[in-house]
Structure 1
Amino acid sequence: MRSAFLVVALLARAAALRLVYVHGVSPEGPAHPRLAKVREAVHGVEVVAPDITGGGDSYEQCTISAALRVLHSCCEAEEGPVSICASSFGAFVALLFAARHPEKVSRLFLLGPALDMKANLPLFVDEDGMAAWREEGVREMGPGVRVGWPWAQEILDLAAGDCPPQPLCPITLVMPESDVPRAKGFLDATPAAAAPRRVLATQGWKPYQADAGIEAVLPHLTAWAEACAEGSALGLSESGAGYTVDVLPAADGAVSAAAAAAAAASPERESVRRLQIRPEDVDGFHKSWRSHFPPSHEIHSYNAREDPAGAARAVAASFAHATKWLPSDVVSELLDFPFSADAPAALLLSGLPVDEAPPDTPIVSAVHGIGTELAQPRVPVAESWTLGLARLLGHPFVPPFFDKGHRGGLVRDMVPVPGVENLCGLLGLHRDFPASVFAPFPEPETFLLVAVRGDPSHVARTVVVDSEKLIASLSAADVALLSKHEMQAQVVLPNGTAVDQGAPFLPIAPREGRAAAATLFVPDAGAHGEGAVGRMVSPEGGAEVEAAWERMMAVGLEVADYVDLQAGDCLILNNVRCCHGRTAFEPKLDGNDRWLVKSYVTSDLWKRPATGKYGAEAYPNMVTRAVERVSNVD
């Protein structure tokens, strides 16, 4: 309970402190019942609720610019920066206003916020709906809500710098628990100076529906209002990512099995450990690189299939130059990464100097043709980092499905593909070429992603979840089911025929000397042509096990880390200790799309004549044609 002193303080400051509440899109406008709940939560503080509908009980005249003008007028009437509580579309207006006028906003408390209207609008209205909206001038967005086309047009015309908005003030986001990945993605894209920043993940409230269950949120809004009255910034400590995430229990006090198990099991366990190279550590790098790799060097022309020895020389030279420029503590982390039981599932190394003027992001012809176009531009600096870092971890190698192209498949370009933009949708959590699915082919122990160019919209995120953390977050019943019953990846062809992809496998399987590992997998329907669809089935366990599989995929997204890879970032993943995926994004195909280069790593592939140790290939051949299973080393 609040002390009497705080109650008196709030009442005494009521004349000086007023809270601005910005409503969302609803038939009631600012009179929505949520406003009454907000007033109830903040008690003696006066709440000012400007009307951003554009006039009357309709949104036909509403636009972003008009809403911003109304909010600006409201804040101009206040003394000093204001505290804003906002909901849904109103939260987007508040974010945009705070980003454009940082001197006028002290802090934000956002209920079920629309974080990036430009990115989200096409998710609710398809192309045909947009065309009809533009032609008719108005669209029904819900019972009693008619929104004019100018509203949508202004959203579509917003500049990239406005979407998502990047305010500098402290922010509290109240989101459904399932929306935590979206909240993390937004906060990762905002300046780190915007601290403290907090996500309240609600189990008992669905902001996009009725207000049943909002009581779980109100005590936090009360505490926030008290902090406003005291002039404090809530006193929250920053996490490594610059924000905190707290799960609010449902109204009946229940918490999800995933959240409870994850918190009880290993709250401090890292999925991604972040390492930063300082600019002063790499001062003079590019001059050194040009001297080390003259135009005649193999790094500019290697092909692992056609000239494996030349590719091996490119790897060795890349290793020598990379270790020269990496700080010793980073080298130590990389050397420990494949072997230490305490190592994280992934490392994010930031600050690598990559190509100074990279060419346009390449356009390739097919998913499995990535890297095959002979005229495709190269990025030798980024590639040298990829190969050099890979050699620190083991040996870079070529999985059997990617052995074509001028690089021979040793380094692949991860870029959008024209005509299959749907593949830029959510890429579910998985492991690459797990041995349990693809035997006898060797399983990569680790792999690297080096960003030549990040997603300009900061929407595309690499999703990483520690395998042990994921299993600990599951219910005991689901762990039991997924440890006993195999799953089978299948592709259903347009004629209805189901084709098995790989072998059946246990989703949760024991590992010698370590905790069990999770294997998630996404069927590759794209290899079977248009109209093919992937699915996962349990031949023995049936619907019960398949439902447990779906729950594991969903829980993985809840407890994962979301990484916004931008130029100079390198993400290194242990392919057994973690599963990974990618959030959906919209490619522009304008030369500025996200561009990562990727290479796989193993330490158990080549024959070693001097020791007699078995390997599947003769060094320096880097194109694997393994005929026996080569297991992962973890």
Structure 2
Amino acid sequence: MSSSIINCAPYREELLDLASTLPKVPRSDLPAFFDDTLRLAERLPQELRDGLDEFNTNGNRDGYLLLRGLPVEPDDELPPTPRSSPPPEDRQLLNMEAMLCIVGGRLGLLTAYDQGYGNRRSITVLHELYPTPEAHHLSGGTSRTQLEFHTDLSHHARQPNYILLSCSRGDHEGKAATLVGSIRKALPLLSDEVRNHLFDRIFTRGFDAADPEAKAHVKPLYGDEDDPYVSFNRSFLTAETPQDIAALDALSAALTEVTEAVLLTRGDLLIIDNFRIAHGRAPFAARWDGKDRWLHRAYVRTDRNGQLSGGERAGEIVPFAPRR
């Protein structure tokens, strides 16, 4: 299994050269932009390509791959950290957006999702995470509230394989760590009784506040019994029996015990294996001064676990289908 950190600083100039060939205004024609990033993904430095391919094939025990030292603009050349969405259509390409898309293209297909929440979330490939004053307490826009462990889009039949987070700005005090709990580390902490109860146990999860009867079916542990996938969101899974509650509590405690805090700083890109990880984020203090934490996020699908059916194109929207 691959190591969890790759130092990209030696390739900074080479990566800048790649980014410089991309369209300067990506949102003016996103399909063409993604086609260009796929082409450039084949020209990444060999060591970086090898590290991404190894992680894509085998993963690692930590459940994430962290690229450090990627090219980012000097802070005084970056626009102010936004406070509202979506980004302006005419905003110039940022280096960490370019890195996000080129690296994503090496792993699979950058994908937009209809997430099944009505109009609460915009349907786009390129998301941005920064503190917003009116953020929902379970969204990435919150700051003072800790985001609890969850698997992104665990209720979606075409759940993304990877979550990519690239950092243009870290938070002021260095407290907004991404909290990563790997099932490969947590599994040995679970008793046989808990493993057997959770494996292929179907829990329901609501996904539409306007329709309480709309349910998806989620298995906390599934796949290979000795090396399972995890799908966890304690806030949404409906436990039906005392045994359910005890088993979910045990899984939550095990993930918490093995939690690693990954603090993203300028020039970092974090790749999370969304089938092996439950993740959260530590609270931090926003200052609303134009220099708050600013991440870029994208989802990537691969042909693993039936996530692709053939013929898809990067940037396409996956219609919502609840997991059954």
TM-score bucket (shorter structure): 0.7 to 0.9
Between the aligned partners of 1:321 and 1:548, the Cα distance in structure 2 is: 45
Q: How many residues are aligned here?
A: 311
The corresponding residue for 2:101 is 387
Correspondences of 1:101-500 after superposition (within 5 Å): 273-278=4-9, 280-283=10-13, 286=16, 288=17, 291-293=20-22, 297=23, 299-302=24-27, 310-321=29-40, 324=43, 326-340=44-58, 345-356=63-74, 357-364=77-84, 371-374=85-88, 377=91, 379-401=93-115, 409-420=124-135, 422=137, 423-424=142-143, 425-434=145-154, 437-439=155-157, 442-483=158-199, 485-490=201-206, 499=212
Over residues 453-473 of structure 1, what are the superposed CA-to-partner deviations in whole Å (9 max), with x where a residue is unaligned? 111211111111222222222
Aligned partners of 1:362 and 1:377 also within 8 Å: no
Q: Quickly say closer, same or farther: Cα 1:491–1:546, change in 2 above 3 A.
A: farther
Determine whether 1:573 maps to 2:291: no
The corresponding residue for 2:285 is 586
The corresponding residue for 1:563 is 262
The corresponding residue for 1:191 is none
Q: Quickly say closer, same or farther: Cα 1:583–1:577, change in 2 above 3 A.
A: same
Q: Tell me which moved more, 591-600 or 480-489.
A: 480-489
1:273 deviates by 0.5
Q: Quickly say closer, same or farther: Cα 1:468–1:414, change in 2 above 3 A.
A: same
Over residues 558-593 of structure 1, what are the superposed CA-to-partner deviations in whole Å (9 max), with x where a residue is unaligned? 202110000100001111122211112222222121
Over residues 241-298 of structure 1, what are the superposed CA-to-partner deviations in whole Å (9 max), with x where a residue is unaligned? xxxxxxxxxxxxxxxxxxxxxxxxxxxx88x7111123x4324754x357524xxx2x
Question: Which structure: greater helix fraction?
Answer: 1
Amino acid at match of 1:292: T
1:614 deviates by 4.0
1:337 deviates by 1.6
Q: Tell me which moved more, 455-464 or 617-626.
A: 617-626
1:522 deviates by 4.9
Correspondences of 1:472-551 after superposition (within 5 Å): 472-483=188-199, 485-490=201-206, 499=212, 502-511=215-224, 515-523=227-235, 535-539=236-240, 542-551=241-250
Larger Rg: 1
Between the aligned partners of 1:322 and 1:484, the Cα distance in structure 2 is: 37
Q: Quickly say closer, same or farther: Cα 1:323–1:354, change in 2 above 3 A.
A: farther
Aligned partners of 2:4 and 2:60 also within 8 Å: no
Over residues 20-77 of structure 1, what are the superposed CA-to-partner deviations in whole Å (9 max), with x where a residue is unaligned? xxxxxxxxxxxxxxxxxxxxxxxxxxxxxxxxxxxxxxxxxxxxxxxxxxxxxxxxxx
Q: Secondary structure at the match of 1:397?
A: strand
The corresponding residue for 1:123 is none
1:390 deviates by 0.5
Over residues 338-363 of structure 1, what are the superposed CA-to-partner deviations in whole Å (9 max), with x where a residue is unaligned? 21265752100000002332111100
1:600 deviates by 0.8
Q: Which runs of 5+ in 2 are unaligned?
A: none
Identity between Structure 1 and Structure 2 (%): 22
The corresponding residue for 1:182 is none
Q: Secondary structure at the match of 2:52?
A: helix
1:507 deviates by 1.4
Between the aligned partners of 2:315 and 2:187, the Cα distance in structure 1 is: 37
Correspondences of 1:59-78 after superposition (within 5 Å): none
Q: Quickly say closer, same or farther: Cα 1:547–1:588, change in 2 above 3 A.
A: farther
1:500 deviates by 5.6
Amino acid at match of 1:409: T
TM-score by length of 1: 0.44
TM-score by length of 2: 0.81
